[in-house]
Amino acid sequence: MRLSDCKFTENDIKKLQDYRDGQKDFRLKLRFIAILSVALSVVLNKSDIEVAAENTAVTFGKHIETIKKWLFQYLTEGPEKMNSFNYKPKQTYLNRYQINQVVIFVTYENPATVKEVMSYINDEFSVSYSREAVRQLLIKNGLKLLRPVKIPGNPPSPEIQKKLLRNMSR
């Protein structure tokens, strides 16, 4: 949907005035005032919505893209959606379910370093943990040692390895 395609009616202006008057938070009230200003200049002055949005942006000291974003949100999602902030707080730690997933990952995948577990947590859950925090998390869940990269002991001799490969290929 393009902004130039939208039309405002007297009923829309009345709704915007009601939402503006009922809003207690000034930042949200400013959104409704800006949209109301655009709607009034489109309906009363018969001006283009782009020009009205630019004039409103200059009047309120906001960027034109901000006003267009508010208008687009109002036209697509309605005024009820604009009546609150869409703020989602950043998750700062793992919940119990996510910790269990990390334990399962460590148990089955058997990463060699704590850094691999850190990157798994960051990729899967978007939570950043330090190395020490990951190490403590593993210890608390009974995973005290990660398997070393090299398995201790002497590797088989080259003759035994070749013999094993021949047997496997048959």
Q: pTM above the 0.75 mark?
A: no
CA dist 20 and 118 (Å) reads 47
pLDDT for res 4: 66
pLDDT for res 110: 83
**70-129: pLDDT as tens digits:** 888 888 888 877 776 666 667 788 999 999 999 999 888 888 788 999 999 999 998 999
CA dist 32 and 16 (Å) reads 6
Within 13 A of 89's CA, how many CA atoms are on the CB side?
Answer: 3
- Which tops the pLDDT comparison, 137 or 164? 137
**2-39: pLDDT as tens digits:** 666 677 788 888 888 888 888 888 888 888 898 888 88
pLDDT for res 48: 79
pLDDT for 148 beyond 60:
no
CA dist 111 and 25 (Å) reads 49
State mean pLDDT over 62-67: 90
pLDDT for res 152: 65
- Which tops the pLDDT comparison, 152 or 24? 24
pLDDT for 146 beyond 70:
no
pLDDT for 170 beyond 70:
no
